[in-house]
Structure 1
Amino acid sequence: MLFAVFLPVLLAIFIPYLSKWKEKIHTGYFVLLAPLAVFIYFIPNVGNDFTPIIQSYSWIPSLNIALDFYLDGLSLLFVLLISGIGTLVTLYSIFYLHTSERLGQFYVYLLLFMTAMFGVVLSDNVFVLYGFWELTSISSFLLIGYWNFKERSRYGALKSMLITVFGGLSMLGGFILLTSITETTSIQEMILQTDIILSSEYFGLILALILLGAFTKSAQFPFHIWLPDAMEAPTPVSAYLHSATMVKAGIFLVARFTPIFSGNEWFFVIVSGIGIITLIWGGSYMAIRQTDLKGILAFSTISQLGMIMAMLGFGTKLAIFAAVFHILNHATFKGSLFMIAGIVDHETGTRDIRKLGGLVTLMPISATLAFFATFSMAGLPLPFLNGFYSKEMFFDASLELQHHSMWISQVLSQAIPYLAVFGSIFTFVYSMYLVFGTFMGEKKLDQLPVKPHEAPIGLLLSPIILVIGVIVIGLFPNIVNSSFLAHTAEAIYGEPFDKKIQYWHGWITPLYMSLVVVGGGAVLALFRRNWSSIYSFLPGKLSFNKVYDFLVDQSEKTSAKITNSYMNGSIGRYMALILVAILGCTFTVMIITDGFAWDTTNLAPITIQEVLIAIAMAIAAVSTIFTRNKIGAILILASSGMGLHYYLLSTVHLT
C-alpha cells in the first residue's frame, strides 16, 4: 500500500518534463495512469471474503510514529472512490483544459491531492493522518486558486485553506489528547480502549476538537461558507474535490471514530443536529436562490453532506449503512452533475441559469445524463435510481431514534423525521430547478455568448460512466451491498450487516415520507416563481461570510500594527526584543521545572579571587554598553573575555 499511496506524487516529479510534449500528447494521458493503477490495485479486495489488512513501515520510532496503513471496508470504499472518480476526472480534464493552460502545474497539484487523500483514508497512525490531512488543505488551495489571475479564485482558495487548516489544528489537539490517554497513536488500538476514552475527563474536549476538524473539512454549518467560493476552481477540480474526495474527508473522519464516540449521547446531539441544520440550510435557504449552476451544486453538496453526517450521528445499524450507501451514490450523481455543468458552460459560454433553457434539443445527451443524475439526487422513487434507496433508508433510520436520556436528545429524536422531510422537499425543489431551468423551457439563444451544441464524446464519456453507475447500482443494489458496502458498514458499526436492499417494502412510513417529498417538492417547484419572492425579504448575505471577512480583515490590521510597532529599523530594539524573549522563555521554563531550587552541596567552593574576577567581568560588560568610543568598547569587552579566559584555564579548574 505504501507504493500505491505515493504513486501519484512520484509521477508528479516527472510531470514538468512530460508537459513539454503537451502540444503532441495531452499531459492528462500520463496522469491518467496513476489513479487507474491504484484503482486496479485495490479492486481485487472487493468481495464477500474481504478481511482487513494492515501494513506498517517504521518512520520515527522515538515518537511512536510509523507509516501504518490499514485497509478495511471503510478505507476500501474511499480508496476506490478517490481512484475511480480521479480516473474519470482526469479523463474529463483532458478534453476540458486546453493545451494553452498551465497543464504541468494543474496536474502536479492534482496528483499531490490524490496522494494526500489516499494517505488520509489509509493511515492508522493519527499523526500521519494529520500530516496527510493538512496536505489535502494545501493541495486543494493550489487547485482552487489555479486560475490565480482571478481575484475570486484567490479569495476562494485562501478561504478554504484558512477554515480547513483551522479545523485541522483543532483535530491535532484532539489527537494529542487521545494519544496521552491511550498511550498509543494507532486508531485501531484506540478503539480497543473506548471505555477509557469515554470515562476520561478530557473526553468532551477531545470530541469537540476532532468534530471541529471534521465539520470544517466537510463544509458543515457554520463552516460551509468556503465551499461555494471554491467553485471558482476549474470544473474538473469541483467534480473531484466536491463530490467524492475532499469534502468527504470529514465524513470519513467521523465514520472512523464513530466506534469510539457513538457511545456518548453528545455525539448524537452534535453530529446529527449539525447535519440536519446543514441539510436544511444548504437546501431550503441557499441552494434555491442561486443562479450559477455550480453555485446550486455547491449548496446541494453542502445539503447532501449534512444528510450523510446526520445519519452517522444517528449511530444505528441502519443509519450507518444508509450513510455509506449515500456516500457512494452521492459520488456518482454529483460527480456527473458537476461535469455536466462544466459541459454546459463549455458549450454555451455561461453558467447563469437565467440565460439558459431549452437546451434539451441542442444538447440531448447532456440533458439525458442530467435528468438521470438529478432525479437520483432528488430521491425520485424509481427502481433504477440509486439515490432513492439511500434517501428512503435515511427516512427509515430517522424513525428509529429513541432510548435517549437527555432531554435535548429526546426533543431532537422527535423532531428529526419532520426536519428530514422538510429538508428533502427543498432538495427536490432545487434539483428540479437545476435540470428544468437548464434544459427545458424557452430557448434564450440571444443571451448566450456562443451558439450551443452537443459536447464532444471526450467530455461526455466520464459523466456517461457515472450515470451508468447510478442506474446499475439502482437496478442491482445488492451487488455493491455484498461486495463492499456491507464491509464498510461493519467497519464503522462493528457488527455484520446482512440486510438485503429492496425497492418495495410495502406501504410503510418511509414510503409515505418519500411521497410527501415528491408531492410537496413538485408543487413548490411548479410554482417556484410565485413564492421565491420571499427571498427578497430575507438578507442575501445571511451567512457567516461577513464574520469570516471581518475576522480576516481585523487579523490583518492587528498583525500590521503589531509588526509596525517593533519593525522600525532599529537593530538595538531587535536585539533587545530577542533577548527579552529568550530570557522570558528561560525564566518560564525554570519556574515550571523548579529550576531555581539549586543544590549547592556538591559544587566546588567559590574563592574570593573568583568573585572579584566575576564582578570585574560584569562591570566591563556593562561599561561596553555606555562607551561611545568603539576602540575603547572593544578593549573593555576584551578585558571581560580575558577574565573568563583566566577563570577557565586556572589551575584550580584544570585539576
Structure 2
Amino acid sequence: MLYIVLIPLLLACIIPFISKMKHKLHTGIPVLLIPAAVFLYFIRFIGTGFEPVRQSYDWIPSLGINFDFYLDGLSLLFVLLISGIGTLVVLYSIYYLDRNERLGHFYVYLLMFMSAMLGVVLSDNIFVLYTFWELTSISSFLLIGYWHFKEKSRYGALKSMLITIFGGLSMFGGFILLSVMTGTSSIQIMISNSEVIMNSPYMPLALGFILLGAFTKSAQFPFHIWLPDAMEAPTPVSAYLHSATMVKAGLFLVARFSPIFADYEWFFIIVSIAGIITLCWGSYMAVHQTDLKAILAFSTISQLGMIMAMLGFGTEVAIFAAVFHILCHATFKGSLFMVAGIVDHETGTRDIRKLGGLMTFMPMTAALAFFGTFSMAGIPLPFLNGFYSKELFFESTLELPADASAVANFLVEAIPYLAVFGSIFTFVYSLYFLFGTFAGKKQTGQLPKQPHEAPFGMLIAPLILVLGVILIGLFPNAFNGTFIAHAAEAVAGTTIVKEITFWHGFESTAFQMSLAVVAIGAVLVSTRRKWSKVYSFVPGQRSVNNIYDSIIAKLDSWSGNITRFYMTGSLRLYIAIILSTILLVTLGFMLATDGFTIDFSNLASVTATEVAVVLVIVAAAIGTIFAKQNLGAILIAGVVGYGVSLLFVIYRAPDLALTQLVVETVSVALFLLCFYHLPNLDNNKEPASTRLTNGIVSIGFGALMTLIGISAHSSDWFGTISDYFLETSHSLGGGDNVVNVILVDMRGLDTLFEITVLGIAALAIYSLIKLKSNKGAK
C-alpha cells in the first residue's frame, strides 16, 4: 500500500513536463489515469467477506516510526471517496480550467493532496498519520490560493492553513500523550489497550488535544470560519476538498479513535455539543448567503456538524448513520459544487441575486441540481439517498441512552429538538439554492454572459455523482452489507446489523420529524423575505470572523513591534542577543540539573611547551580586543588559530593540525580580501555601557563553554564512542586513519549534505553578485 499512497505524489514530479504540452493535450487527461487506477485497485476489496489488511514498511524503527498501513472498512470507505471523487474532479477540471491556466501547478498540488489524504486514512502509525495530516494542510493551502493574484484567495488560503495547522499541532500533542501512555505508536494496539488509556490521568488532556485537531479540520464551530473563505479556490478544488476529502479528515479522526474514547462521558458531551451547534449554526447561516458556493460552504459546515454529532452519540444506529451519511453527503454535495461551478462558468456570476430562471437555458444542469438539493434537503422520496441517512439521524437522536450526569441527560432531551431545528434550515437553504438559481424571474440583463447549457463533458462528473445519489437511494442495502456495514463495524468495534428501509409507517417518530421539517421548512421558504431581517440581529455585526481578524491584526502588530525592537541592523546586537540567550538558557538548565562536574583527577601531565603555546594563544586572543588597526587585528587573530594548530601537532593529531592550518590560512586570506570593507576599529567611539555589555557577554559565554567542556570530560554519563570507531574503522570503512574514515564513511551522508549546503550557498552568492552587477549595468 505504500506505493499506492505515494504514487500520486511521485507522479506529480513529472506533471511540469507534461504541462508543457498542454496546448496539444490538456494536462488533466493523463492525470485522470492516476486516481482512476487507485480507485480500481481498492474497489476489489468491496464484498461481504472483507477482512482488514495490514502492511508495514521500515522507516525509523529505532523510534518505533514505520509506514504501517491498515485497511479496514472505515479506511476503505474514505479511500474510495478520495480516489473515486478525485477521478471525477480531475475529469470535471479538464473542461472547467482553461489551457492558459497554470495547469502544471494545479495538478501537482492536487496529486500532492491526494497522496496526503490517502496516507491519513491508511496510516496505523500516529506519527506517520500526523505527517500526512500536515501535508494535507500545506497542499490545501496551495490549492485554495491557486489564484494567488486575488487577495481573497490569499486570505482564504492563509486562514485555512493557520487554523488547521494550529489544530494539527494540538493533535500531535495528543498523539504523544497516547504514545507515552501505551508505549506504542500503533493505533490498533492503542485500541486494544484502551483500558490503559482510560485509566491514565492524562487521558482527558489527550482527548482534548485530539478533538481540537479534528474540530479545526472538519470546520466545527467556532473553527468553521476558514471553510467559507476557502471557496475562493477553483470549483474543482471546492468539490474535492469540501465534499469528500479534507473536511472529512476530522470526521475520520474521531471515528478512528472512537473505540478508545466512546465510553468516556465527556466524549459524548463535547463531540455531541460541537456537532449539534455546528449543524444548527451552519444551516441557519447558509440561508443568509448570496454566493452559490458560500451557500454550499455553510451547508457543508452544517452537514459536517450532523455527522460529528452522530459520532459523538456513539450508539450503533448513530455510528451506522454517520458512516452512511459520509457516503451520501459526498455524492450530493460533490454534484452541487460542480453545478455551482457550471453556473458560474456559463453565466459569469455566482450571485444568486442576479440569477433566476436558468432552467430554461440550462435544463440538464437544473435537473442535476434538483436531485442534489432534494437529497440534501431530505425530501421523502425513495430514490434520494439523503432521505435515508437523515431518517437514520433522527432515529439516532431518539435512541440516546439516559445517563447519570445532569449535563448528559439534558443533551439527551434537547438534541432531538435541535436536530429538527437544524434540519428545517437545511430544507430552507436547499430550496433557496435550487429555486433561487433555476426558477423564478429571468434576469439575463444582469448577467455578465448570456447563459447557455454547459458542454456535455462538464456535465459527466456531476451526472455520475447524481446517479450515485439515485442508485444508493434505490438500492441502499446493496451498498450496506458489502460496504457500509464494514465501515460502521470498524468504528463501533462490533458487528452492526442494520436494514435500510424507506417506509416505517406514520407512527414512526423519525418520519413525523421529517414531516415537521418539510412542513415548517416550506412555510419558511415561502416567507423568507419577511423573516430574513432576523439576520440583522443574529448574528448582526458579531461574528467569529471579526474575532479571528482582530487576533491576527494584533499578532501582526505585536510581532512587528518586537521585530523592530531588535532588528536594528547592528551585527553586534544580533550576536549579543544570540549568545546571551544561549548563556542564560544553558546556564539555567545546567544549574537546575546539577550538570556541571569538575574532576581533574584523570588528566595527563602538562609540559612547558604546552603551557607556552597556550599563553601565546591567550595573549593573542586578548590582544585582538585592544588592537586599533584592522590589519593588526587580523594578524593577531591568525596567531590564535595557528597556536591551536601547534597544540594539535603536540597532541599527535596531524590531520586536525593540517585542517586547522588550511582553515586559518583561508580565513586570514578572506579577511585580507575584505580588508577595504571592514569597519575601522576605534574602541573610543563605543560608549562605556556597550563595552561593558560586550565584556559581560563574551566572558560569560566563554566561561560557560569552558565549564561545559570540563564537565563533558569529567562526567561519565555516557560511554565513549571512540572505542567503537577504533574497532570498526578498518572492518567497516576499510581504513586505519580513523579521522578520515569517520568523515568519509561513518558520517559520509552528513558530509555530503554539508557539501550540498556549501554548493547552495555558493550559488546564492553568485546570484546576488550577478543581480547587483545587472542593476549596476542598468
Q: Deviations over 1:425-452 (max 9, x none)?
A: 1111111111111111111111111221
What residue in structure 2 maps to residue 367 of structure 1?
Answer: 366
What residue in structure 2 maps to residue 535 of structure 1?
Answer: 535
Greater Rg over alpha carbons, structure: 2
Rounded Cα–Cα distance in structure 1 between residues aligned with 2:357 and 2:651: 100
Q: Which moved more, 1:641-650 or 1:20-29?
A: 641-650
Q: How big is the shift at 1:589?
A: 4.0
Unaligned runs of 5+ in 2: 655-778
Q: Counterpart of 2:59 in 1: which secondary structure?
A: strand
Quote the sequence identity (%): 66
Q: How big is the shift at 1:634?
A: 4.6
Rounded Cα–Cα distance in structure 1 between residues aligned with 2:105 and 2:587: 48
What residue in structure 2 maps to residue 10 of structure 1?
Answer: 10
What residue in structure 1 maps to residue 482 of structure 2?
Answer: 483
Q: Deviations over 1:57-97 (max 9, x none)?
A: 11111221111111000000000000000011111111111
2:197 paired with 1:197: yes
Q: Which moved more, 1:355-364 or 1:583-592?
A: 583-592
2:548 paired with 1:544: no
Q: Please tell me the residue identity of whatever aligns with 1:283.
A: S
Q: How big is the shift at 1:605?
A: 7.3
What residue in structure 2 maps to residue 555 of structure 1?
Answer: 555
Rounded Cα–Cα distance in structure 2 between residues aligned with 1:611 and 1:191: 65
Q: How big is the shift at 1:590?
A: 2.1
Q: Counterpart of 2:280 in 1: which secondary structure?
A: helix
Contact 1:225 1:543 in 2 (8 A): no
Q: How big is the shift at 1:652?
A: 13
Normalising by structure 1, report the TM-score: 0.95
Residues 483 and 595 (structure 1), Cα distance of their counterparts in 2 relative to 1, 3 Å cut? same
Residues 599 and 489 (structure 1), Cα distance of their counterparts in 2 relative to 1, 3 Å cut? farther
Rounded Cα–Cα distance in structure 2 between residues aligned with 1:86 and 1:375: 24
What residue in structure 2 maps to residue 60 of structure 1?
Answer: 60
Q: Which moved more, 1:241-250 or 1:496-505?
A: 496-505
What residue in structure 2 maps to residue 381 of structure 1?
Answer: 380
What residue in structure 1 maps to residue 19 of structure 2?
Answer: 19
What residue in structure 1 maps to residue 759 of structure 2?
Answer: none
Contact 2:617 2:640 in 1 (8 A): yes
Q: Counterpart of 1:14 in 2: which secondary structure?
A: helix
Q: Deviations over 1:473-519 (max 9, x none)?
A: 01110011111110000001011111211111222111111111111
2:542 paired with 1:522: no
Q: Please tell me the residue identity of whatever aligns with 1:82.
A: I
Q: Please tell me the residue identity of whatever aligns with 2:292.
A: L
Q: Deviations over 1:379-423 (max 9, x none)?
A: 111111111111111111111122323221121121111111111
Rounded Cα–Cα distance in structure 2 between residues aligned with 1:356 and 1:224: 27
Q: How big is the shift at 1:341?
A: 0.6
Q: Counterpart of 1:380 in 2: which secondary structure?
A: coil
Q: Which moved more, 1:47-56 or 1:262-271?
A: 262-271
Of structures 1 and 2, the one with the larger relative CO (CA 8 A, separation 6+) is: 1
What residue in structure 2 maps to residue 287 of structure 1?
Answer: 286
Q: Counterpart of 1:70 in 2: which secondary structure?
A: strand
Rounded Cα–Cα distance in structure 2 between residues aligned with 1:541 and 1:46: 50
What residue in structure 2 maps to residue 210 of structure 1?
Answer: 210
1:291-330 alignment runs, 5 A limit: 291-330=290-329
What residue in structure 2 maps to residue 333 of structure 1?
Answer: 332
Rounded Cα–Cα distance in structure 1 between residues aligned with 2:279 and 2:605: 76
Residues 600 and 192 (structure 1), Cα distance of their counterparts in 2 relative to 1, 3 Å cut? farther
1:213-612 alignment runs, 5 A limit: 213-284=213-284, 286-506=285-505, 507-603=507-603
**RMSD (CA atoms):** 2.2
Q: Deviations over 1:124-176 (max 9, x none)?
A: 11111111111111111111111111111111111111111111111111111
Residues 201 and 611 (structure 1), Cα distance of their counterparts in 2 relative to 1, 3 Å cut? farther
Rounded Cα–Cα distance in structure 1 between residues aligned with 2:55 and 2:344: 45
Q: Counterpart of 1:185 in 2: which secondary structure?
A: coil
Residues 361 and 644 (structure 1), Cα distance of their counterparts in 2 relative to 1, 3 Å cut? closer
2:132 paired with 1:132: yes
Contact 2:402 2:408 in 1 (8 A): no
2:31 paired with 1:31: yes
Rounded Cα–Cα distance in structure 1 between residues aligned with 2:403 and 2:169: 32
Q: Please tell me the residue identity of whatever aligns with 1:467.
A: V
Unaligned runs of 5+ in 1: none
Residues 608 and 96 (structure 1), Cα distance of their counterparts in 2 relative to 1, 3 Å cut? same
What residue in structure 2 maps to residue 116 of structure 1?
Answer: 116
Contact 2:271 2:309 in 1 (8 A): yes
What residue in structure 2 maps to residue 182 of structure 1?
Answer: 182
Contact 2:31 2:107 in 1 (8 A): yes
Normalising by structure 2, report the TM-score: 0.81
Residues 150 and 638 (structure 1), Cα distance of their counterparts in 2 relative to 1, 3 Å cut? closer
Residues 580 and 514 (structure 1), Cα distance of their counterparts in 2 relative to 1, 3 Å cut? same
Q: Which moved more, 1:246-255 or 1:5-14?
A: 5-14
Rounded Cα–Cα distance in structure 2 between residues aligned with 1:600 and 1:406: 66
Q: Deviations over 1:452-474 (max 9, x none)?
A: 11111111111111111111101
Rounded Cα–Cα distance in structure 2 between residues aligned with 1:307 and 1:601: 72
